[in-house]
Structure 1
Amino acid sequence: MQSNGASPSPLLPPQPSRGSNGAAVVDKGVDFANYFCTYAFLYHQKEMLCDRVRMDAYYNAIFYNRDRFHGKTVLDVGTGSGILAIWCAQAGARKVYAVEATKMSLHARELVKANRVEDVVEVIEGSIEDIELPEKVDVIISEWMGYFLLRESMFDSVICARDRWLKPTGAMYPSHARMWLAPIRSGLGEQKKNDYDSAMQDWYGFLDETEAYYGVDMSVLTKPFEEEQRKYYMQTSLWNNLHPQQIIGTPVVIKEIDCLTAKVDDIIAVRSEFTTKIDTDTARLCGFAGWFDVHFRGSINEPATREVELTTAPSVDNSTHWGQQVFLLHPPVRVNHGETIKAAFSMSRSRENHRLMDVEFVCQQLQPSGKSSSPITSKFYIE
């Protein structure tokens, strides 16, 4: 997120321990169980394969730029069903190494064979950090993006693949990525607040009944229960496909990534200070929405013949399975046309699970008269 030079927030949690390459040190067995196994199921692959925005962008990026794949060696990181590898072969690639960490590799091999490209595409089961290739590659292609771009931390593996196997003149598809934030209006805040209130009301009833029937006072657990429910209902960001009319202010780019040069340290924590101007009539600022786009521009040595963009911005007709991440403010804030919202945003990896994110907003209302409101601090979790 731009303004990367902002000083680290003292409220950000400590980072997990990291290896010499900057990657978080995690138990590989636990990581596999919590993350990779999800992608071993065809139903999950089908969800992504049915995302027309996603599919069209990658298909067009390959076939609009067929000359950038013809005769080249390609590495597909996290091939899943193998469809990107198949397209690369169909575009004329000389060799495609399709790496997949899960047993989905078995389905990928069958799909490759069924589409008669097994002489070009080699499916390799294993993590990109551990596998070996017989040669460097001209192109790395990967669909690595998680919710709000960086959830799941798969880009770490793409960086590893790039540093190990991409030729100095090689290209990345996608080549660039951006993260966006914008102020929104939404009725979800009231719904979540009602859910939270209902949970607490049920808890107090539970306390009364437990003491009356079983003679045990459990009220000492009220505080941790309340914290648990508050995190779940009011501080966990929501997946949503917003309508463009729910955006009430100027969207802002808060992070730009060049996939050819980015390092893990560049994405471990994301910080930005930004301003956005309210461009609707009087409304309630209910929170912020985050989304991303990626661009397929090729490389300096071999720029794309035709650039392609994949965006997950709010849309009437072109929603994606990524949707947007919604960070709700409690309570919402009344804002007027022309007012400016000044905000500081920080996002870092969860200490408990490096594939999840902890988020903090500090926002302040700046009126045209020059008056400003007191800063509001909100913490969120992307799970």
Structure 2
Amino acid sequence: MENGVIVSSKNKFDTKIEASSAKMYFHYYGQLLHQQNMLQDFVRTGTYYAAVMENRSDFEGRVVVDVGAGSGILSLFAAQAGARHVYAVEASEMAEHAQRLISGNPSLGQRITVIKGKVEEVELPEKADILISEPMGTLLVNERMLESYVIARDRFLVPGGKMFPTTGRIHMAPFSDEYLYVEMANKALFWQQHNFFGVDLTPLHGLAFQGYFSQPVVDAFDPRLLVSPPMHHTLDFTTMKEEDLYEIDIPINFVASVGTRVHGLACWFDVLFNGSTVQRWLTTAPGSPTTHWYQLRCILSQPLYVMAGQEITGRLHLVAHSAQSYTIYLTMSAKMWGEGAEQGGILQTSTAKLELKEPYYRLSQPQPYVMQQDQQQQLPSLQPQI
């Protein structure tokens, strides 16, 4: 028993996640400088604050569980909105800092209990009317905290209780960015040296080339680089099973708006706070105010050539692994356009295998706009629609 709270011996988290990854994960989030980085993302923090305060009726007099509470900021928001009691569950050493912050705000803190432990193992003295959490990682699912959010729902939430956020969507669209493609390909030029201190490095060039293209690129890009309207895949946190997050298979289908080279698939996400009073979205879309998540692009080592009106099909397949992330398997194909299209003839196919846990953070690079203006065609707004 810890702090009057029973801790169960069985811990599903530890059976799924390798110990070394968990240790690094909790060490990272146990540091104030990383919490500060998230708090200073004013799109993130401000949207959470607005979603809570605009929906006071969901919080007033209610019991709230803050899943992965971190600094405790969301617990304090819930208390400001009138929650009867908040249980702030945090597994990292940040729990001690959260307790200090909450104790330093006594008018709110008297209604908040900090519990150090994983949501998979702690027991609470009562059920929650509402869960609040910030479980999103890169591409929404990185770090696999969404699974803990769903487990917390099953363990702690009363039937019909609310979840903030309620649903999430992964958005995708093909993109064209010659500058980025050349930048990635040029990284492997080092291995094309035939006389590096008398050594021929070229036998490793192919592996190095593929290695660089196995890194998803995290940056903020111009939405005009997209070559078709986006599509999205929805995750309903209120009904989905934890196991649904082990493997996510998304068929993709687009129609190119312009003729160009397609260099891969651009991705971003948004989440909905489905409050009783106000429905509010938090989006990471290109062209919207930038968040600390930025956007993510999966680059094909072999680009596709498409014509305007040509269909682009394929599959985005995410497979979870024990290092708290996913391997991404991407297939993109450009179907024949014109004669022969009815037979479904494939003109070209390109595939990629990428590691979501090891992205290339391209945050200090220029973001040039490379598509010709006369290629432009109006694309629908990327702002979330309910």
Give the TM interval when normalised to the shorter protein. 0.7 to 0.9
Tell me if 1:247 matches 2:239.
no
Separation in structure 1 between the aligned mates of residue 192 and residue 289 of structure 2, nearest angstrom: 40
Deviation string 1:162-218 (CA, Å, 9 cap, x unpaired) is 1111111211111111111101122211111100122x135x545735x9xxxxxxx
Tell me if 1:328 matches 2:319.
no
Kept in 1, the 8 Å contact 2:13–2:120? The answer is no
Change (3 A) 1:205 1:154: farther
Kept in 2, the 8 Å contact 1:196–1:234? The answer is no
Shift of 1:23: 6.4
Matched residue type, 1:161: A
Separation in structure 2 between the aligned mates of residue 337 and residue 263 of structure 1, nearest angstrom: 40
Kept in 2, the 8 Å contact 1:142–1:174? The answer is yes
Kept in 2, the 8 Å contact 1:22–1:265? The answer is no
Cα RMSD after superposing both structures: 2.3
Change (3 A) 1:274 1:206: same
Change (3 A) 1:379 1:32: closer
Kept in 1, the 8 Å contact 2:175–2:226? The answer is yes
Superposed, 1:204-219 pairs within 5 Å as: 205-206=195-196, 208-209=198-199
Kept in 1, the 8 Å contact 2:303–2:350? The answer is no
Shift of 1:32: 2.6
Kept in 2, the 8 Å contact 1:274–1:343? The answer is yes
Separation in structure 2 between the aligned mates of residue 185 and residue 52 of structure 1, nearest angstrom: 30
Tell me if 1:190 matches 2:182.
yes
Structure 2: state its 5+ residue gaps.
Answer: 1-9, 358-386
Shift of 1:28: 5.8
TM-score under structure 1 length normalisation: 0.83
Partner of residue 286 from structure 1, selected from 250, 263, 269: 263
- What is the match of residue 354 of structure 2? 380
Separation in structure 2 between the aligned mates of residue 126 and residue 324 of structure 1, nearest angstrom: 31
Tell me if 1:143 matches 2:134.
yes
- What is the match of residue 38 of structure 2? 48
Change (3 A) 1:263 1:247: same
Superposed, 1:81-100 pairs within 5 Å as: 81-100=71-90
- What is the match of residue 276 of structure 1? 254
Deviation string 1:246-299 (CA, Å, 9 cap, x unpaired) is 11112011x21111111121111111222111123x32211111111110114x
Shift of 1:83: 0.7
Separation in structure 1 between the aligned mates of residue 36 and residue 99 of structure 2, nearest angstrom: 17
Kept in 2, the 8 Å contact 1:293–1:313? The answer is yes
Shift of 1:31: 3.3
Shift of 1:26: 4.1
Ranked by relative contact order (alpha carbons within 8 Å, sequence separation 6 or more), the top structure is 1
- What is the match of residue 327 of structure 2? 358
Shift of 1:101: 0.9
Tell me if 1:108 matches 2:98.
yes
How many residues get paired?
Answer: 341
Change (3 A) 1:85 1:285: same
Kept in 2, the 8 Å contact 1:23–1:156? The answer is no
Deviation string 1:302-336 (CA, Å, 9 cap, x unpaired) is xx211011111111x51111111111112322322
Change (3 A) 1:24 1:329: farther
Shift of 1:226: 5.2
- What is the match of residue 297 of structure 1? 274
Separation in structure 1 between the aligned mates of residue 79 and residue 13 of structure 2, nearest angstrom: 32
- What is the match of residue 310 of structure 1? 282
Kept in 2, the 8 Å contact 1:22–1:264? The answer is no
Partner of residue 239 from structure 2, selected from 261, 269, 272: 261
Matched residue type, 2:26: F
Kept in 1, the 8 Å contact 2:228–2:255? The answer is yes
Deviation string 1:7-54 (CA, Å, 9 cap, x unpaired) is xxxxxxxxxxxxx99868346642332311111111111111111221
Kept in 1, the 8 Å contact 2:184–2:212? The answer is yes
- What is the match of residue 127 of structure 1? 118
Structure 1: state its 5+ residue gaps.
Answer: 1-19, 212-218, 299-303
Partner of residue 318 from structure 2, selected from 343, 347, 350: 347
- What is the match of residue 378 of structure 2? none
- What is the match of residue 363 of structure 2? none
* Segment drifting more, 229-238 vs 59-68: 229-238
Matched residue type, 2:330: F
Shift of 1:367: 4.3
Matched residue type, 1:356: S
TM-score under structure 2 length normalisation: 0.83
Change (3 A) 1:43 1:262: same
Shift of 1:230: 3.7
Change (3 A) 1:33 1:21: closer
Kept in 1, the 8 Å contact 2:56–2:82? The answer is yes
- What is the match of residue 374 of structure 2? none
